[in-house]
Each structure stands twice: as C-alpha cells, then as structure tokens.
Amino acid sequence: MNDANTLNGYLIAVALVLVTATATAAALTREPVRQAIVLGLLGLELAVLFTALQAPDVALSQLAVGGALTPLLIVLTVRKVRREAAERPDASGDGDPGAGSGPR
C-alpha cells in the first residue's frame, strides 16, 4: 500500500508542476485563439490533478467547463469580433480622411 501512496504523491507533484507551467504559458500568451488552446490544456491538466486528489466529481466538472466550454466560447467570441471588425468600412483606420493630418 505504501507504493501506491508514493506513486500518487509523484503524480500529484508532476500534475502541479504541469499546471503551474501551463498557467504561466496561458498568462504570457497574447494571441486569443492560442490562449484558448492553452486554457483548454490547463483545464485537462486540472482534471487530472483533481482525479489524483480523489475528487472525481470536481474533475468531471473541470473537464466539461475548463477543458471544453470555456475555450470554445473564447474561440467563438474572437471569431465573431474579428468578422464584425472586417465588415466595418473603417476597420483599417482608412475611414477618416482627416485622421493623423493634424490641425488645419
């Protein structure tokens, strides 16, 4: 039984290191779509950590919300914002002929 506890301790330690590294990567990522992918990976890693900590109900919730729903909502929101920005005629900044010309 002692070997199982040691193995579980190692699994928890590895999961904590992975969660810390992935959370740092998510904070440092600037592209929203890539950030959503990293957040999805973070959700999966947290689900593994919760399973190792013997909380399967929390792990299932984390898997559904943090691993799937949140990244999907972020990607869909970014897609919609980019589509609406591309449809506007002044999205590139060319819509105002007096912009940047200074006082007249």
CA angle 89, 93, 95 (to 5 degrees): 50
pLDDT per residue rounded down to tens, the chain (104 residues): 688 888 889 999 999 999 999 999 999 999 999 999 999 999 999 999 999 999 999 999 999 999 999 999 999 999 999 999 999 877 555 555 555 555 55
pLDDT of residue 55: 95
**Total length of the chain:** 104
Does residue 96 form part of some domain?
no
Cα–Cα dist 86/77, whole Å: 14
Q: Assess if residue 8 is contained within a domain.
A: yes
Structural domain of 23: 2-87
Cα–Cα distance measured from residue 35 to residue 97, given in angstroms and rounded to the nearest whole number: 36
Q: Domains in the chain: how many in total?
A: 1
In a domain, 93, yes or no: no
